[in-house]
Amino acid sequence: MSALKDVPDLTAEEARAEHDRLAAEIGKHDKAYYQDDAPKISDAAYDALRQRLEGIEARFPELQTENSPTQRVGVAPSGKFGEVRHARPMLSLGNAFNDEDVADFFQRVRRFLGLSDSDNVYFTAEPKIDGLSASLRYEKGELVLGATRGDGETGENVTANLKTLKDVPHTLTADVPDVLEVRGEVYMSHADFAALNERQREIGKPEYKNPRNAAAGSLRQIDPTITASRDLRFYAYAWGEVSETLADTQFEAVQRLGQLGFSINADMIRSGSLDDILETYRGIEQKRAGLGYDIDGVVYKVDRLDYQERLGQVSRAPRWAIAHKFPAERATTKLNDIEIQVGRTGALTPVAKLEPVTVGGVVVSNATLHNEDEIARKDIRIGDTVVIQRAGDVIPQVVEVLLDQRPQGAPEFKHLDVCPCPLQTPTAREFNERTGKMDAVRRCTGELACPFQRKEHLKHFVARQSFDIEGLGTKQIEAFFDEEEIREPADIFTLAARNAEGALTPPLQEREGWGDTSVRNLFAAIEDRRTIGLARFLNALGIRHVGEGTARLLARAYTSWAAFKAVAVEAAHEGEAREGLLGIDGVGETATDAIGRYFAEPHNLELLERLEAQITIEDAEAVANDSPVAGKTIVFTGSLERMTRDEAKARAQSLGAKVSGSVSGKTDILVAGPGAGSKLKKAKDLGVETLTEDEWFELIGG
């Protein structure tokens, strides 16, 4: 393609021609991305197209029609299907990557349940299908609702589409529970995938990258007749809400689903021996290529459903199941450069810029190099030929260097002593007191002075899982930050007023890439987010080790920003507040320390004050929990006889209680088993209610 003229040099006629060409091209990519789940170009290339189009429209505003891609985002907003709140969350799975991880999992299960090595625990093993999970809700035997997993709590209503699958019965005739939610995987066979892509080619439509994308794209069609033409399949392997239990074991429950008319995987086995299970894994791995559909591992589940119940879940994954993944796929390519990226927390991450190569059906041009020790250990140098691997959705990694192909004189990689940001603040590796070692990660020491870190914080603040401000993405944050118009979160909410007062020069609507409509839309989107839920807000703050999951747990535990902040500020200085945070299921030492550090920093408190003046933080809904111990702080001491300490703790937390390790004025109940000592005495001195283990079980209902 010949070089493009600069926008200011375009004649009106050239501008119109190019505008139309760009609009059509962007339209095509939008469709590929939003409707077909199969983007054909990188995000950066797509941004470049949009930027050019916006530049042209800024100079020739008459070209900015209602139909221009600049006036809409995507073709199919995520609201194209109704939302479904799952009656029981759809969980994901933890991973095991080798035999040892599996042995650890078996051990963890036993330990949690307080079983000895001689007690038999049976597990099921079955292929992990590489598709997308779906939930089918039957009421009195009639299929009433079909949904995608979504974020696990809320999915999309795709009932009409799921009904077109041959494996999805509309009516269950056998004797079934009144409410039965059947869960499983929607997938496409290799043969159907190849045929579909051939049809796509014939009619000039984009091809799908892999069967998983094809299944997802086909299920999420607005027109169910298209889904019907796609030969999707469904394997049932789990269930959600059920009004009567299906069986006593996982194995039998799945067989029962088979009897009801669902397709179940014939390769499922059940065994109490680790060796058997691992042998099954290898057997399935051998069969993998000939199965006719993609699988990416083997799933192990505790067979007894009463055990599953007792084991419960940690954050989004059950304690009673694990996915044993197959080794990643590999490819060889050239390392063109090593780029240093500065993250939100100042971590410098070296990234391998690769000669693009296809690995497992996906084009890869970047791989993580983790940190400088890793580069030194593998002796990775620019110009090297490297082996890379990619497993599922995990970021590709450089596995090894092919030394015999190293170009002569390739120099060793040298870490950066200063941050690549304009301030060039020194970088350092911290001493980690917990591990007693130097951190592997090198960080920029500039913290909030480092413009790169601040920018990353702001990008995170506006991102989809945080404030989700439409029209304020990476590119816009970069520009506003560089112009010193948005330097901290509160500035986002004063932008419109400052623009109206003429404090922005030139006014936003007069800048390249902006027009009256896009400015209006941006300000409306910002206004729209002045009120935000607590969980999102906590995630948006970007506190180290407080991601979406932890933010949700904190929001549920404290419900209001004021309550959380009070504890967090205390936690910066004082042990009891730390105990409070640690008592929440899923919140560990690392997150607690990080929260304490964040709130000990006066700069952060000031920044928060300015932000609080701009926005309203809505209370989170307290978990509806009518258990008598909800909200109470419990301490266990002495030896427990009916459960392990871990199980007792998890059980109390699942009932909405906080579990603490030490007795204080905030303790509500001390559960004391035989051998209780100083804690029991302290509780008595403080007048804390004290229960025996049996009394505790009576209180929580057995």
Return the active site residues: 128
From residue 481 to residue 520, the character string flagging contacts with ligand IVH as x (rule: CB under 6 A) and all else as - is ----------------------------------------
Told to check if 216 binds ligand IVH by CB under 6 A, we report: no
Looking at the DSSP assignment, which residues form a beta bridge with residue 358?
363
Nearer CB in complex with ligand IVH: 277/321 = 321
Helices vs. strands in the chain: H and E counts, helices first: 24, 26
Counting contacts by CB under 6 A, is residue 156 touching ligand IVH?
A: no
Whichever of 323 and 450 has its CB closer to ligand IVH, that residue is 323
User: Which among 162-170, 316-324, 528-536, 615-623 is the span making contact with ligand IVH, rule CB under 6 A?
Assistant: 316-324
CB of 322 to ligand IVH, least distance (A): 10
Q: What are phi and psi of 639, to 5 degrees?
A: -95, 140
Shortest distance in whole angstroms from residue 243 CB to ligand IVH: 19
With contact defined as beta carbons under 8 Å apart, do 180 and 239 qualify?
A: yes
| Alpha carbon of residue 623 to chain centroid | 22
Bridge partners (DSSP) listed for residue 137: 145, 181
Comparing CB distances to ligand IVH, the nearer of 91 and 196 is 91
Q: Binding to ligand IVH by residue 93, rule CB under 6 A?
A: yes
Residues in the chain: 702
Nearest residue to ligand IVH, scored by beta-carbon proximity: 133
> By CB under 6 A, is residue 91 in contact with ligand IVH?
yes
CB nearer to ligand IVH: pick between 129 and 469: 129
Nearest distance, CB of residue 37 and ligand IVH, angstroms: 15
Which CB, 93 or 650, lies closer to ligand IVH? Answer: 93
- Write down the least CB distance from residue 318 to ligand IVH, Å: 5
Binding-residue total with ligand IVH (CB under 6 A): 14
Q: How far is Cα 615 from Cα 540, in angstroms, rounded to an integer?
A: 13
- Alpha helix positions (H), 365-488: 372-378, 451-462, 474-482
**Residue number, 184 or 515, with CB nearest to ligand IVH:** 184
Cα gap 670→325, rounded to integer Å: 42
Backbone φ, ψ for residue 61 (5° rounding) = -60, -25
Q: Which residues face 235 on adjacent strands?
A: 185
What are the residues whose beta carbons fall under 8 Å from the beta carbon of 402, sequence distance 6 or more?
Answer: 332, 384, 385, 386, 387
Closer to ligand IVH by Cβ: residue 22 or 238: 238
CB of 484 to ligand IVH, least distance (A): 44
Contact with ligand IVH (CB under 6 A): which of 58, 321, 444, 615? 321
C-beta of 237: minimal distance to ligand IVH in Å?
A: 4
302: contact with ligand IVH by CB under 6 A: no
Alpha carbon distances (Å) from 125 to 240, 264, 302: 20, 13, 9
Which amino acid type is present at position 683?
A
Residues facing 301 on adjacent strands: 124, 321
Whole-angstrom distance between the N-terminal and C-terminal Cα of the chain? Answer: 74
Query: 264 vs 347, which CB is nearer to ligand IVH?
Result: 264
> Among the candidate windows 86-94, 239-247, 624-632, 646-654, which touches ligand IVH by CB under 6 A?
86-94
589: amino acid identity, one letter: E
Residue 420 contacts residue 340 (beta carbons within 8 Å) = yes
The residue assigned the tokens 């029981």 is 88
122-143 per-residue burial string, b: 16 or more CB within 10 A, e: under 16? bbbbbbbbbbbbbbbbbeebeb
Cβ burial, residue 465 (10 Å; 0-12/13-18/19+):
middle
Query: Stretches 35-43, 100-108, 127-135, 671-679: which one binds ligand IVH (CB under 6 A)?
Result: 127-135
Q: How far is the CB of 95 from ligand IVH (least distance, A)?
A: 8
- Smallest distance, Å, CB 129 to ligand IVH? 4
Q: Is 158 or 672 the residue whose CB approaches ligand IVH more closely?
A: 158
Q: Which residue has the tokens 């609201």?
A: 79
Question: Which residues are 438's β-sheet partners?
Answer: 431
Give the range of 2-10, 91-99, 221-229, 334-342 binding ligand IVH by CB under 6 A: 91-99
| Contacting residue, 124, 133, 389, 592, with ligand IVH by CB under 6 A | 133
* Binding residue (CB under 6 A) for ligand IVH from 23, 102, 129, 659: 129
Of 38, 102, 176, 238, the one binding ligand IVH by CB under 6 A? 238
Q: Using CB under 6 A, which of 30, 126, 384, 456 touches ligand IVH?
A: 126
Kindly tell me which residue out of 29, 86, 128, 370 binds ligand IVH, with binding defined by CB under 6 A: 128
Cβ at position 238, least distance to ligand IVH in Å: 5
Residue 237 touches ligand IVH, criterion: CB under 6 A = yes
Alpha helices (H) in 118-165, listed in sequence order: 159-162
**Could you give the string, one character per residue 163-192, with x where binding to ligand IVH holds by CB under 6 A and - elsewhere?**
----------------------x-------
| Contact region with ligand IVH (CB under 6 A), list: 32-40, 42-50, 126-134, 454-462 | 126-134
537 sits near ligand IVH (criterion: CB under 6 A): no
In order, the DSSP letters of 617-665 are EEPPPPP----TTTT-EEEEES--SSS-HHHHHHHHHHTT-EEESS--T
Q: Which of 323, 367, 421, 659 binds ligand IVH (CB under 6 A)?
A: 323
As beta bridge partners, residue 183 has 135, 238
The CB-side HSE value for 119 (13 A sphere, CA atoms) comes to 11
Q: Judged by CB under 6 A, does residue 555 bind ligand IVH?
A: no
Residue with Cβ nearer ligand IVH (295 or 419): 295
The two three-digit tokens of residue 640, written as one number: 């427990």
DSSP state of 395: P
In the bound state with ligand IVH, the residue whose beta carbon lies nearer, of 81 and 300, is 300
Q: If binding is defined by CB under 6 A, does position 318 make contact with ligand IVH?
A: yes
CA 277: distance to chain centroid? 29
* Of 176, 180, 105, 79, the residue nearest 136 (C-alpha): 180
Phi, psi of 666 (to 5 degrees): -90, -5
Residue 693 near residue 680 (C-beta atoms within 8 A):
no
Instruction: Write the DSSP symbol of residue 481.
Output: H
Q: How far is the CB of 326 from ligand IVH (least distance, A)?
A: 13
Residue among 271 and 474 whose Cβ is closer to ligand IVH: 271
User: Taking the complex as a whole, how short is the minimal distance between the CB of residue 409 and ligand IVH, in angstroms?
Assistant: 46
**Pick from 27, 31, 55, 92: which binds ligand IVH (CB under 6 A)?**
92
Please state the closest distance from residue 271 (CB atom) to ligand IVH, in A: 16
Spell out a b/e string for 537-569, using b for 16 or more CB atoms within 10 Å of the CB, else e.
bbbbbbbbbbebbbbbbbbbbbbebeebbebbb
Q: Going by C-beta distance under 8 Å and a sequence separation of 6 or more, which residues neighbour residue 202?
A: none
Give me the 28-67 binding string for ligand IVH, x by CB under 6 A, dash otherwise.
----------------------------------------
The span of 88-96, 370-378, 445-453, 502-510 binding ligand IVH (CB under 6 A) equals: 88-96
Enumerate binding residues for ligand IVH (CB under 6 A): 91-93, 126, 128-129, 133, 185, 237-238, 299, 318, 321, 323
